[in-house]
Amino acid sequence: MSVWAVLAAAGSGERLGADRPKAFVRLGDQPLLGESLARLDESDWIDAIVVAAPPGWEEPAILLAEELGCSKVSSCVTGGATRAESVKLALAEVPAEAAVVLVHDAARPILDDAVIERVVTALNEGWDGIVPAVAVPDTVKRVDGDRVVETIDREELRLAQTPQAFPSEVLRRAFEGDVGGASDCASLVEARGGRVKVVPGDLRLMKITDARDLERASALL
Ligand code: C5P
């Protein structure tokens, strides 16, 4: 069974306020992208990797992979206007023989191999997709402007992370047509009636959005 990883790294990361795309902002002693790329490359669960890089940053992404000795990077595509479009463009580079595709956000650098193992192995149970997720610690309110409409039972809620794993054919079908602004891959699979399972995520898999997140992540390296 071959497992391909798509690494979505084509975001602009405007909220970081840096002079470069988020994937190339420094985390520790290398660009942010390097952390998840190296961890995917080292994983025995992953056979090959396709990177979606920001327009104009394809070459630096390939050079970074070479510097890190990442031997599994098969290609690097130019990302699209949204995350979903970037994943769709990368998915086109995944060969038909791939059995499983795992999609990961470069914005979540602290990727533990145990999470990769959990999402890949759970697919053997026959699901259409596997999502690592964590509980919601705070009480959640639905609001209309600044008026509280209701309090939602947080026991029923999860925060979805990546990497998310799918049988490749299921993911390809989910990405047919307009994928627009879907914020994760599983939502596209769910929209087609796919059965998606959550498995335990990892609090260290937090998404880097602003400068404070970068500080927290570097403390976890
Ligand atoms: O913007 P946000 O942090 O939600 O993006 C999540 C992931 O999707 C990031 O790793 C980012 O690089 C990626 N992305 C992408 N192409 C875009 C927008 C975001 O690959 N056009």
The 10s digit of each residue's pLDDT in 114-157 is 999 999 999 999 999 999 999 999 999 999 999 999 999 999 99
pLDDT of residue 13: 85
In the structure, how many helices (H) and strands (E) does the chain have? 7, 12
The finding on whether 185 has its CB within 6 A of some atom of ligand 1 is no
Q: What separation in Å is there between the alpha carbon of 149 and the centre of ligand 1?
A: 31
For 169, phi and psi rounded to 5 degrees?
-65, -35
Q: Give the model confidence (pLDDT) of 80-92 as tens digits.
A: 999 999 999 999 9
Q: What separation in Å is there between the alpha carbon of 139 and the centre of ligand 1?
A: 27
The residue whose CA is least distant from atom 19 of ligand 1 is 11
- The average pLDDT across 173-197 equals 95
pLDDT of residue 14: 85
- The average pLDDT across 50-76 equals 97
Name the H helices within 16-167.
32-42, 58-67, 83-91, 113-122
Calculate the average pLDDT of the chain.
Answer: 96
The residue whose CA is least distant from atom 2 of ligand 1 is 11
For residue 8, which atom of ligand 1 is closest to its CA?
Answer: 20
Q: Is the pLDDT of residue 56 over 90?
A: yes
Retrieve residue 115's tokens. 């999470």
Q: What separation in Å is there between the alpha carbon of 206 and the centre of ligand 1?
A: 14
The finding on whether 50 has its CB within 6 A of some atom of ligand 1 is no
Stated as kind and residue range, the H or E segment containing 129 is strand 129-135
Cα–Cα distance between 71 and 48 in angstroms, integer?
8
Q: Is the pLDDT of residue 1 over 80?
A: no
Q: Give the model confidence (pLDDT) of 8-53 as tens digits.
A: 999 998 888 889 999 999 999 999 999 999 999 999 999 999 999 9
Name the H helices within the chain.
32-42, 58-67, 83-91, 113-122, 168-174, 185-191, 211-219
pLDDT of residue 185: 98
pLDDT of residue 16: 87
Residue 186's pLDDT band (boundaries 50, 70, 90)? very high
